[in-house]
Structure 1
């Protein structure tokens, strides 16, 4: 099927379906009118299908050219893709299929017990994420790639439908521009590696459609449902998409001089948003409450990108975290830039949309509006996460420039001149790649040839072969320019990501071996099984077990404070806690089995997991001498003293004077004395380098505050002389605490473990989000659960009333008076009850809206009674 792309006639085109209705076909027979309506209704479907297929093909082609998994050997696990999204989806699959220790409320495996519903709402609540159950457990990365591709495909289809709703035009062009939106620079550089954000990419055109329905007082029930689904899928980017849709609706109302329903349209849209957000409140308020309790990252200073850097991001094959990714393809950008010069458009349209786009671009550079886009919080990492909205507005402008025919040559020439000026201004900026200008030039040449073919075709007389071939050629050249440029840009961005950013290898045999070892040793809830530090990316979610390791944007402040005070390390500025291999903390958190990687006894090249089991106290212990509230119990600066305080026993040697001597080679020598045969540990904080105990092997530390803090590490056994001499070879930071060395005496720890086991729970049962423990009769003092006291826990002793759980040094504590024979604690995510109430009210509002519109429609359809005679 050929499509004629004709030059503009100079008259404003119909603005929407209301102005291009069936009035002109009133004289046609009923059957012909039905056929015409059916043909017209199929146009959005064709455009959506075309945009979706093109988006999918081009995205996969870019990955194929880059050699990225699953179309090549290179990992796609760039930054958080490997350390958050793959593990979360692996665990989500386990939860959905019923094999997890926890449930929708509680994740028992991570952080010794974390709020899982908050993580679901942040990372996993998109309907697309349910697709993970269709894949085997060892193909989670493939599942995530398919989910990512499906979201991109759906975003392209939704934008194509929106474009045809704005103005009728050739569906192949709508499909091409829909695909350009789905594969904009924001997607290639950000969304493809942060798949939860892609729900916002899909939400923007859908919410714009809700705005269109509000203009016509249509879809009063579907509109709020679309808003609610967008906010449930990913509230963070849905919030940005909602602001973008508000800008879209405002421009639509101001540029349409025939629209007399502006106040009612705003009210209809506001109602849809309020009801929709209300429907999402049970999840949104849980996320909000968890965010308020989360460990904050260090403050970020707002620093807008320089304008040449912004212009550079309009070019293909650019990648940067310091400037907004605005690439939409050279042909599409040329059409958008031609809009102000297109005299075939109404003046309000040709100047209103460019003005709105400029204001949105300026909002990226002003701190108050920058914070507004990000819900008042300065983002860490990528600063301009709302750039997909600006890309969408640019593509809407491109569509309005061409839907009724190409702009005249003068307008096209003016747009190309602006484009050339922007490209010239970007020359020499850091984000420009060696591929950027060559690919840009080729795409521009093909786009000019396509425009020439489209402009010449209508002038050929007689309907010859040229008149039929040239429109097809124009579309083919346009698709080649746009899709080819985007495929090459996707390839280059993928390559640059792997070259300049940290990444994790693909999941493989080592993870499967560790998972098998964990499954064989698992003894939960009698004791925990820690899968260890390796591979170090949310391990329990990937391989099972129960660990302090945890990486989430919602890592609770109390969890972070408690574990780091005990010597745990972290990455990601405190939100990625790593497991600690230490006998004292194993006793504190009932880690009875620990998995460690060791050399293959068969002589193989890799490492194999080995399980080591030790006796530890139960998950619930009783401290007879502890009375709450204990105002004196506070962690101090020494991780060794903190461990002893929480354990309730002295297990390290008393602090001895430590001398520090700097050698001529630049290394630092630490010397102290300890009990012979004890095990020495180094608390390094920000130390980056190696520590070597005389006669031992170097132990690596990788500290770099505020991003990375190394955990407490064993450096060897104290010799018979009792003299400890440690050489520190530092390659970066060297910031040691006042007590850097602690010497653990195993016999003392063994006595402490036996004491806690003797007075601890005799039986522990753990449900999806509850703990029940039977304790010795007549127990007094305080029951301490080896679970961080995050918000949402409520506990009771025996038949006593349930109250918010108390805390002892960051762990759940329950006072005992000697009458209770059991302790029970339940977790309910904070915000869930309020969210459910708001959701119920919103649902009632939706039902009331549906009934009102149904009654109004019936009243309008009821014929008036005949006049009385």
Structure 2
């Protein structure tokens, strides 16, 4: 603490005044009593934040769990919680994170060998797993990862409640019990229940906002110059995306605090400079990870451009009600009692006029900023997100809770202010009437919570009039406040979970289907001699859960080069290219050295309240090694562009003709929604149908219908086998579909297996004699005299460097999306290593920030010693 801060009282706390610093007067006994009273008062003041934080954490935990219990969701019920990305991303990533931490993964912190045929894991780690809470997954068994994720989610919510409760008491002294309830209101806002609980990484931003506001308070009074930047760095490391939004919100709170306090312009400027220094150092400490994520985002599969669509203001009002859910509108619910208290602030004459005016204006401006495209882009770092557009809503919820605290910290607002708040809440409730987001539980829950909250207010008013039993009335009022706030939130949590299962996509819970597959994959695993692909198990990112090394991969950072390559080879995808899927095709199995392919046949359609069960089988085939040698391939003259046909593209990458030459396909359209494709092929060949944007069925004459589901740009259909060419050589594929028929020119390919077997045999004979794979390295021994190009069956994503023999490692070359290493006939080995782009520069920035942090701590420590020395000299 600087000498100036030591000498000055806490300007931000009305209860801390210069008058309290006067020494006690009177006789010795009086001074002793005064000293004891001061000690007890100070102790109570220091313990109040602890009590508030603990109470908020417990209350938030109980309320959140009660909502899940009433909804019957796992682990308090039988229904799945795996809504959208919770099941497709966060659950699998935590399963893989546990495996990696325990040393059982194929890769390391840099490379995930299980997904996408080899992906940049450090970027994914920073996006999904860098919160300290995520380390708790190692304390749970492999079959309890869902329970671990639920515990982690609950702990994050309770931490956010505790942090907000502590912040409220730091902003203004008041009853810690009320601060605890309001802290819970923030942690269990509609944003948490509707968005954050199903995207757990965002909950780190929920925690970060009150913590960063505390950092701003410390900066304002020149306190904790080292701890502040450390908290900023931790917040940005845990989840930089929501930490960025939380930083904007905390900066706004700091500005309000600076310009509503009676401080000089010099002290305000000093506070801003202290805060700027702390934020810059903190972000610098997080840069090694943040820059890696930024670089990975630049090369990620681009999603279609999203144009922000403002929400109707009636929907804003409706989302303040309980039991509403929507991905297209901001989840603003904080509980009706807390909302009433927040809306009393503009009318509460017990609060300074400047504070009322500035905070009220700030709330209105922030609400407007959510729905205006230029400020919407600022909140989201310049890019309108796919999916939920109002991801910054938790900041506005936090500001509303702070406003509620400022209006009630000194006691219940007077009747005029309280009445005005109730009228405003009723008007907002009426404005939301009839909106689509409103649930049948919304208005009953709203009415009951308002009524019980008013009863709590009445109990406090009666207590002031000293009616009989007045001493118990504050306790009754608090109980009613907790009941109104908590009960309404429980109902909101219950209905949100129930509505999500009905309205959005979900994945089944982990069960025997995944565990049986994991055992089968482990028994067949032959990595790195060949890959074992688990196929498409119920859920997403299957390899992270069951093991193996396949194509399936779902991440916000899915490399564009990898996604594009797989698409051109006939693979399908979801999520507009960021969720690549497995492809059951012998040619691509040979290209990617998939020696064992697993198959999972569900025993029943997936149900929300049932664990999946399936029959697991496998097929094994001979495939080339992970590294093959193409003696006639010169990268300078190699194909640089893909063909329009996925069948031709597969042949180019494989280096051999294995499909029948493209024959003329005759289309017959006897009726709308039906067509027949006719062509000729080698008898006995396998017939494959490819229609990236085809939705319907394809049936080979005499065979069974095969379903296809292509909805570009969101979903790309995979190539699939439909049967075998009959002895006549005539292929007739009947199509049944909806809408327009959109097919590529060559939608049918006939694979002659004998040609593929010959190609595999040749590639195996000339390929690597030994392949070794480390955490983020790959090396192979080659036959003596190998020339041409060594092709590695790994996507050439940014960060790979390779060398041949003892040569100098350079940025890896590419052959149609795969890593390629030129050979000169002298090298008998190749080696490749992966380093996530941005790590070197980010590490340098991080080291510089650490030096600045150490220098800051040293300077402040030196200033304190000098101040202490001057004080001792003055006393002497």
TM-score by length of 1: 0.96
1:834–1:520 CA distance, 2 compared to 1 (3 A)? same
**Counterpart residue number, 2:63:** 58
Deviations 1:86-132 (A, max 9, x none): 10000000000000000000000100000000000000000000010
Match of 1:158 in 2: 163
Confirm whether residue 288 of structure 1 aligns to residue 294 of structure 2: yes
Which stretch of structure 1 is more off in the superposition, 706-715 or 857-866?
857-866
> Aligned match of 1:469 in 442, 453, 472?
472
Partners in 2 of 1:127 and 1:865 — Cα distance?
43
- How many angstroms does 1:610 deviate by? 1.2
Match of 2:537 among 518, 534, 537: 534
Matched residues in 2 for 1:259 and 1:320: separation?
A: 46
Return closer, same or farther for 1:522/1:599 CA change in 2, 3 Å cut-off.
same
Q: How does 1:673-692 map to 2 (within 5 A)?
A: 673-692=680-699
The residue aligned with 2:373 is: 367
1:383 aligns with 2:389: yes
Q: Give the 3-state SS of the residue equivalent to 1:383 in structure 2.
A: coil
Return the match for 1:411 from 395, 414, 417: 417
Asked if structure 1 preserves the Cα contact closer than 8 Å seen for 2:508 and 2:539, the reply is no
Q: Which residue is equivalent to 2:616?
A: 609
* 2:28 equivalent in structure 1: none
Distance 2:185 2:462 in 1: 25
User: Secondary structure, in 3 states, of the residue corresponding to 1:863?
Assistant: helix
Q: How does 1:134-145 map to 2 (within 5 A)?
A: 134-145=139-150
Q: Which residue of 2 aligns with 1:7?
A: none
Q: Is the 8 A contact 1:217 1:268 kept in 2?
A: yes
Q: Is 1:176–2:174 an aligned residue pair?
A: no
What is the alpha-carbon distance in structure 2 between the residues aligned to residue 858 and residue 344 of structure 1?
A: 42
Give the equivalent residue in structure 2 for 1:212.
217
Q: Matches of 1:733 and 1:21 in 2, distance apart? A: 81
d(CA) in 2 for partners of 1:841 and 1:737?
Answer: 54
Aligned to 2:771: 764
Aligned residue in 2 for 1:725: 732
**Match 1:511 to one of 514, 528, 544:** 514
Distance of 1:57 and 1:129 partners within structure 2? 21
- From 287, 294, 299, the equivalent of 2:305 is 299
1:280 match: secondary structure: helix
After TM superposition, the structure 1 = structure 2 runs for residues 805-824 of structure 1, keeping only pairs within 5 Å, are: 805-824=812-831
2:79 is aligned to 74
Structure 1 residue 709: deviation in Å?
Answer: 1.0
1:534 Cα offset (Å): 2.1
The alignment status of 1:351 with 2:357, answered yes or no, reads yes
**Which deviates the most, 254-263 or 473-482?**
254-263
Answer yes or no: is 1:266 the counterpart of 2:272: yes
Q: Which deviations, in whole Å up to 9, do the C-alpha atoms of 1:578-620 show, x marking residues without a partner? A: 00000000000000000012588xxxx9532112110000000
Q: Distance in 1 between matches of 2:138 and 2:559?
A: 28
- What is the alpha-carbon distance in structure 1 between the residues aligned to residue 116 and residue 670 of structure 2? 40
Q: Match of 1:115?
A: 120
Q: 1:652 to 1:337 in 2, by over 3 A?
A: same
Q: Find the aligned partners of 1:554 and 1:366 in 2 and give their Cα distance.
A: 28
1:732 CA displacement: 5.0
Taking structure 1 as reference, are residues 42 and 606 closer, same or farther at Cα in structure 2, changes over 3 Å only?
A: closer
Partner of 1:131: 136
Contact persistence 1:703–1:733 (CA under 8 A): no
SS at match of 2:636: coil
Q: Aligned residue for 2:437? A: 431
Alignment of 1:624-635 (within 5 A): 624-630=631-637, 632-635=639-642
Indicate conservation of the 8 Å contact 2:638/2:815, yes or no.
Answer: no
Structure 1 residue 32, shift from structure 2 partner: 4.0
**1:169-216, CA deviations, whole angstroms, 9 ceiling, x for partnerless residues?**
001100000000000000000000000000000000000000000110
After superposition, give the CA deviation of every residue in 1:112-163 in whole Å (9 maximum; x if it has no partner).
0000000000000000000100100001000000000000000000000000
In the TM superposition, residue 734 of structure 1 has moved relative to its aligned partner by 3.2
Counterpart-to-counterpart distance in 2, 1:176 and 1:865:
45
Alignment of 1:441-452 (within 5 A): 441-452=447-458
For the structure 1 residues 340 and 617, does the alpha-carbon distance in structure 2 shift closer, same or farther, using more than 3 Å as the test? same
Q: Counterparts of 2:377 and 2:875 in 1: how far apart (Å)?
A: 65
What secondary structure, in the 3-state scheme, does the structure 2 residue paired with 1:690 have? strand
Q: 92-101 vs 361-370, which deviates more? A: 361-370
Do the aligned residues in 1 keep the contact of 2:301 with 2:559 (CA within 8 Å)? Answer: yes
Q: Bigger shift: 248-257 or 482-491?
A: 248-257
Aligned residue in 1 for 2:228: 223
Distance in 1 (CA, whole Å) between partners of 2:579 and 2:741 is: 22
Q: Provide the alpha-carbon RMSD of the alignment.
A: 1.7
Which residue in the other structure is 1:558 paired with? 561
The correspondence of residues 480-519 of structure 1 with structure 2, limited to 5 A, is: 480-519=483-522
The answer to whether the aligner puts 1:241 opposite 2:246 as a matched pair is yes
In structure 2, the residue matched to 1:5 is none
Alignment counterpart, residue 191 of structure 1, candidates 189, 193, 196? 196
Looking at structure 2, the residues matched to 541 and 680 of structure 1 have their Cα atoms a distance apart, in angstroms, of 32
For this pair of structures, how many residues does the alignment match? 850
Structure 1 counterpart SS, 2:637: coil
CA contact (8 A) 1:635 1:642 kept: yes
What residue ranges of structure 1 are gaps of 5+ in the alignment?
Answer: 1-12
- The reply to whether residue 310 of structure 1 matches residue 316 of structure 2 is yes
Shift of 1:807: 0.6
Contact 2:590-2:624 within 8 A present in 1 as well: yes
- Please tell me whether residue 735 in structure 1 is matched to residue 733 in structure 2: no
With 589-598 and 857-866 compared, the bigger mean Cα shift is at: 857-866
Unaligned runs of 5+ in 2: 1-10, 26-30, 604-611
Q: Report the 3-state secondary structure (helix = DSSP H, G, I; strand = E; otherwise coil) of the residue aligned with 1:716.
A: strand
CA distance in 1: counterparts of 2:37 and 2:872, whole angstroms = 33
Deviation of 1:634 (Å) = 1.7
Local SS of the residue matching 1:177: helix
Map Cα deviations across residues 502-536 of structure 1 (whole Å, 9 max, x no partner). 10110100101100110000000000000011224
> Does 1:803 find its partner at 2:810?
yes
How big is the shift at 1:632?
3.3
Aligned-partner Cα distance in 2 for 1:204–1:224: 14
Q: Residue 212 and residue 868 in structure 1: after superposition, are their counterparts in 2 closer, same or farther (change >3 A)? A: closer
Aligned counterpart in structure 2 of residue 44 of structure 1, from 25, 33, 49: 49
- Contact 2:710/2:716 (8 A) holds in 1: yes
- The secondary structure found in structure 2 opposite 1:529 is strand
Cα shift at 1:633: 3.1
Give the corresponding residue for 2:3: none
